[in-house]
Chain A
Amino acid sequence: NAGVTQTPKFQVLKTGQSMTLQCAQDMNHEYMSWYRQDPGMGLRLIHYSVGAGITDQGEVPNGYNVSRSTTEDFPLRLLSAAPSQTSVYFCATAGTAYGYTFGSGTRLTVV
């Protein structure tokens, strides 16, 4: 069982470039979320989905897009990267109850 798979693990972008962070789960969970982790800020919710075809904004959605066409996949798109988006990004998934399972993270640097 892979659980939650995030790719890539590391990425360097130039300001203005776009890219997609991939997240896939094999746990058949309804909930999927994207968080960013910054020093002293904890983890902040970017976007989330409660099922295929349903997405909504979290605390810090600006500059990011998501879609959920299947239960398994929940990609996060950076439309035009900015240095403020330098962060570690985590994808997470959960069923209807209890805790989330996290991917191993993507460390993104925007120069």
Chain B
Amino acid sequence: GNSVTQMEGPVTLSEEAFLTINCTYTATGYPSLFWYVQYPGEGLQLLLKATKADDKGSNKGFEATYRKETTSFHLEKGSVQVSDSAVYFCALRGYGGSQGNLIFGKGTKLSVKP
């Protein structure tokens, strides 16, 4: 079945550092890929998405590229801020029936220090 593996945390960075959170997936067909963010005490918000190979999703300075050859969707940001401290979830979604469910990685907690 479909699955998502993302790097374990927690990750602690200084403000303005470069961020990479690795995410790889296993899926049949061509799923859509997502990054969700959860700020402390809140629900999940969609951060960015990509729906086909070589698509790049971007939002709020974060980027991720759908790499089918390496089955990866790594999240990057060039300069993190304290306000980026949150838990980040990589997820995938197939098409139709049970494949249409959203499958999550276990999450990576990011802490950014001033």
Question: Measuring CB to CB, which residues of chain A are less than 8 angstroms from any residue of chain B?
Answer: 31, 33, 35, 40-43, 45, 48, 50, 56, 58, 90, 92, 94, 96-105
Contact = CB atoms under 8 A, between A and B. Distances in A.
Listed residue (B93, B97, B101, B104) with the most chain A CB atoms within 10 angstroms of its CB:
B101
B43 A102 contact: yes
A27 to B, nearest CB: 13
Given A43-B89, A97-B32, A98-B32, A33 B101 contact: yes
Contacts of B46: 99-101
A94 B89 contact: no
A40 B93 contact: no
Contacts of B49: 98-99
Q: Nearest 10 A-B pairs (CB), nearest first?
A: A42-B106, A102-B44, A104-B43, A43-B104, A42-B104, A102-B43, A99-B46, A105-B43, A100-B102, A42-B107
